[in-house]
Structure 1
Amino acid sequence: MDKDFDFDEMAASFDRYLPILAPVADDIGDRLGQLQPAALVLDVACGTGEPGLTLLGRYPGVQLLGVDSADAMTAIATRKASARGLADARYEVMDSQHLDLADDSVDAVVSRFGLLSFAADPRAEAREVARVLRPGGVFSIATWDAGSKNLISYALSVSLRRWLNPPIAAAVERSERFAMPGRRERWLADAGLVDVRSELVTWQVDFADEVALWEFANDPIFLSTATGGLDSAQLAEVRRELFELLADYRGADGSYALPYACRLLSGTRSSVEG
């Protein structure tokens, strides 16, 4: 396997992760302030439609453009918007490092765990945010913080480390480097964005029991993408180590309460030229 996460292949099962990430959509919206009717919101690396679809409910009358590099993701997002009768939402395939949009063309940029997270050149992504925002436009971007603050992802990456395909292992390491304190904030400021704020946002993910947690973690599409496939003995070893790592988060009733955290980056493009 010579590539990292194949998001086209993962699209079919991607929505299973959305309930875990749902609280972050409101946090992103909280940092946008008051958007005017007909404002154009750009959702970069939108996946199957979030957080843009949630924000449409919060800001009636705004226009939404969701972009993602995976055609299968934008196809699902388009179907969701159509099913909900959201004529103000449209989706296109675009590279976040080279957005096919005019300068000064959008009023707000949002992203949930896409921008500044996986790209080969996150500085290019930051420059693109600054380029397409109109003067005075706002951005609100959720990125992963240090891996150990996100228990399911961290425990899975540790449990799978012996079998991860090299490009996947490199992508995980790259994301960890991006999360070093102050790096993303510097990239955004260097791109010309101002009033850059950085906040740690935390929430909790609950699972009723070990069966429910393993059902979530044992996603065949994800595991196939990350490892190329595991046999039954290897899968059993992953499960054993996973639950050993998470043992301290298991309640007396067998349920799991797992902490999660992300970094919320927000700010504006200066309205003053030069």
Structure 2
Amino acid sequence: METQLEEIREQQKQTWNKFSAGWRKWDDFTMDWLRPMGEAIIHSLHLQPTDVVLDVAAGTGEPGLSIAARVPQGRVVITDLAESMLAVARDNAAKKGVSNFETVVCDVSELPFADNTFDAVSCRFGFMFFPDMLRAAQEMVRVLKPGGRVAAAVWSVPAKNVWVTAIMGTISANMQLPAPPPGAPGMFRCGAPGFLADIFRQAGLHHVTEQELTGTLNCGSNDTYWNFMNEVAAPVVGALSKADDELKARIKQQVFALVDEKYPDGTAALDYGTVVVSGQK
């Protein structure tokens, strides 16, 4: 089992490093879209100005950098598996004038921090991809001070996330992609109501709360949507790399038709649904 988990971690590290250039290109667009989930996490943490906060699987730096602005006498440790993603985070911090932070490349299942180090822990859209979600939660609890809080956001069920199902569903219909093994890391693995809340309780957290956040990915046009998904979404790129030009063109045409049918105003503002869960040690 450990070997299998290590293989998943290594594959994820390679994938995120590979796609870091796309995430850098689309960072402003993406962070604007994901800001509500970051704000919900921050609100759930009940931050104080002197807090020391851990942001897990932070990618290009959020919500960690926003948290840093709220703990001016504290600091934030921003972690991720992929050094190339954290390089974008450091550049973003420089642009924003944020200095009370550091980046650490590490695996959430083996956090390199002492027990009871942090006042709060945040994680936005990481849990779905952790090979062992309970171990990850237990590690977060271990490094959290008594009374501290953990807050995380995950994607809800597929029906509430047209922004990804529109393109992946069309790809699957045309390419007969094999279904992932049950419980394998993936976008909607934590989407069922109560799923992540239960993991938080198993990890020893109390006063666990869950809220749903919905909204739209505002692309402005079908072309922007297509280009965005083809530069940041690894499953999309991986699947389409196996298609010839004719098939890619047909899939693109069908995706555009589907988006136009669901959202006839032409702005490609596609629905998303998320779940934000928090708990206290």
Measured against the shorter chain, the TM-score band is: 0.7 to 0.9
CA contact (8 A) 1:249 1:256 kept: no
**Which structure carries more helix by proportion?**
2
- Residue 142 in 1 paired to residue 153 in 2? yes
Change (3 A) 1:265 1:128: same
- Residue 264 in 1 paired to residue 276 in 2? yes
> Which of 155, 160, 171 is residue 160 of structure 1 equivalent to?
171
CA contact (8 A) 1:47 1:77 kept: yes
Unaligned residue ranges in structure 1 (runs of 5+) = 270-274
- Residue 26 in 1 paired to residue 36 in 2? no
Unaligned residue ranges in structure 2 (runs of 5+) = 1-7
> Equivalent residues in 2 for 1:36-185 (5 A)?
36-114=48-126, 116-161=127-172, 163=175, 169-170=180-181, 174-175=185-186, 176-185=188-197
> Equivalent residues in 2 for 1:230-269 (5 A)?
230-252=243-265, 254-269=266-281
> Which of 17, 20, 23 is residue 11 of structure 1 equivalent to?
20
RMSD: 2.5
Give the paired residue count. 264
Change (3 A) 1:39 1:263: same
* Residue 178 (structure 1) shift: 3.0
Give the fraction of aligned pairs with identical amino acids, expressed as a percent.
30
Change (3 A) 1:225 1:101: farther
CA contact (8 A) 1:155 1:245 kept: yes
TM-score normalised over the length of structure 1: 0.86
Change (3 A) 1:185 1:178: same
* Residue 171 (structure 1) shift: 9.2
Match of 1:36, SS?
coil
Change (3 A) 1:123 1:251: same
CA contact (8 A) 1:251 1:257 kept: no
1:9 alignment partner AA = K
1:129 alignment partner AA = M
* Residue 128 (structure 1) shift: 0.9
* Residue 246 (structure 1) shift: 2.3
TM-score normalised over the length of structure 2: 0.84
Change (3 A) 1:230 1:123: same
